[in-house]
Each structure stands twice: as C-alpha cells, then as structure tokens.
Amino acid sequence: MSSMTASTLVLASLALGLSACGYSTGDRAVSGGLMGAGAGAAIGAVTGGSPLTGALIGGGVGAVGGAVTSGDDVNLGKPVWR
C-alpha cells in the first residue's frame, strides 16, 4: 500500500470521526470540514506529503462526513461559534 493511500485512509477515518460537532447539518459540515482540514494538513506534513493537499482532502471528507451524519447518531455538543 502506498503512503498516499494509507494517508488518505487514515485521514478519512479521522475526518469522519471528528465531524460530529453541531446540531444542524450546516454546523456539522463546517466543523467537520475545519477539523478534517487540520487533521489532513498534519498527516500530510508528517508523512512527507503536501500539507495543502492533505488539508484539501481532509476538509472535503470532513465536510461531507459532517453533512451526512445525523445529530442523533453522533453529537459532540454545541460548536464553539454558537
């Protein structure tokens, strides 16, 4: 397995796991995107890849993960901006 594939798999699972803040779909998408971008940049930097590419992939996966999950399934509470 290439390091890019492994990084993407780790990033996707982290972003989905972190995409649970907020009550509305919009809140969850924003928080998931922000946390996914941060995790993606960190993984990209640690693995020797591009932090920018990691942030873009992580942000997209996190935003989608936050938008498609329900507040009834996973809810980490009120987002800091509310």
pLDDT tens track for 16-62 = 555 556 677 888 888 888 888 888 888 888 888 888 998 999 899 98
Task: State the pLDDT at residue 79.
Answer: 60
pTM, whole model, 2 decimals?
0.64
In whole angstroms, how far apart are CA 50 and each of 45, 66, 75? 6, 24, 31
Backbone angles phi, psi at 31, to 5 degrees: -65, -40
Give the residue carrying structure tokens 């995409």.
19
Type of residue numbered 12: A
Decide if 32 contacts 63 (C-beta within 8 A): yes
- Tokens, residue 55: 């942030």
